[in-house]
């Protein structure tokens, strides 16, 4: 009878532990792992409206980002941009808030935010889906210091 009482007590303790785990804080280790994986320098190359574009995105560990781009138009004209801001990963989306667009503080009608649902193709390549504008972008990891 004593051993049956011990088993019942053990079952009760295990059930309480399981319930406590269900009510505990959410496990954010996945989001932190992805945030660490996103930290670094990323390159996106594409063509748009006849221009060849190279865009470098640097995601710093402190939550700051820099974005530089060069677009070479068909007529050879080169257009460059440099933006900065803050970034974070919310568990699903890479979110960026622009604080400087070509050295100027953003103002209306410019949209100073970008959010992409992130899906890694490999450790060094991810696809970002912009669910608002219904488009996808592809970035690949490159060496720090890479220029557009």
CB 33 within 8 A of CB 123: no
Q: What is the mean predicted confidence (pLDDT) over 106-125? A: 90
Provide DSSP, 29-98.
Answer: HHHHHHHHHH-EEEEEEEEETTEEEEEEEEE-TTSEEEEEEEEE-TTS-EEEEEEEEEEEE-SSEEEEEE
Please tell me which residue, 9 or 39, carries the higher pLDDT value: 39
pLDDT tens for each residue of 41-85: 999 999 999 999 999 999 999 999 999 999 999 999 999 999 999
User: What integer pLDDT is reported at residue 13 of this predicted model?
Assistant: 43
Tokens linked to 67: 């974005």
CB atoms within 10 A of CB 83: 22
**Residue-level pLDDT at 16:** 44
pTM exceeding the 0.95 threshold for the entire prediction: no
How far is the C-alpha of 122 from the C-alpha of 126, rounded, in Å? 7
Confidence of residue 107 (pLDDT cuts 50, 70, 90): confident
According to DSSP, the residues that pair with 55 across neighbouring strands are: 44, 69
């Amino acid at each position: 009878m004593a051993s049956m009482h011990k088993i019942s007590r053990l079952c009760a303790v295990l059930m309480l532990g399981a319930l406590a785990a269900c009510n505990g804080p959410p496990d954010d280790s996945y989001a932190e792992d992805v945030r660490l994986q996103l930290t670094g320098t990323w390159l996106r190359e594409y063509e748009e409206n006849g221009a060849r574009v190279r865009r470098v995105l640097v995601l710093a560990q402190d939550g700051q980002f820099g974005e530089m781009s060069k677009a070479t138009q068909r007529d050879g004209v080169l257009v460059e941009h440099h933006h900065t801001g803050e970034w974070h990963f919310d568990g699903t989306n890479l979110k960026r808030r622009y604080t400087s667009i070509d050295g100027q503080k953003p103002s209306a009608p410019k949209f100073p935010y970008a959010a992409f649902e992130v899906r890694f193709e490999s450790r060094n390549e991810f696809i970002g889906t912009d669910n608002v504008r219904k488009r996808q972008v592809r970035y690949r990891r490159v060496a720090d210091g890479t220029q557009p």
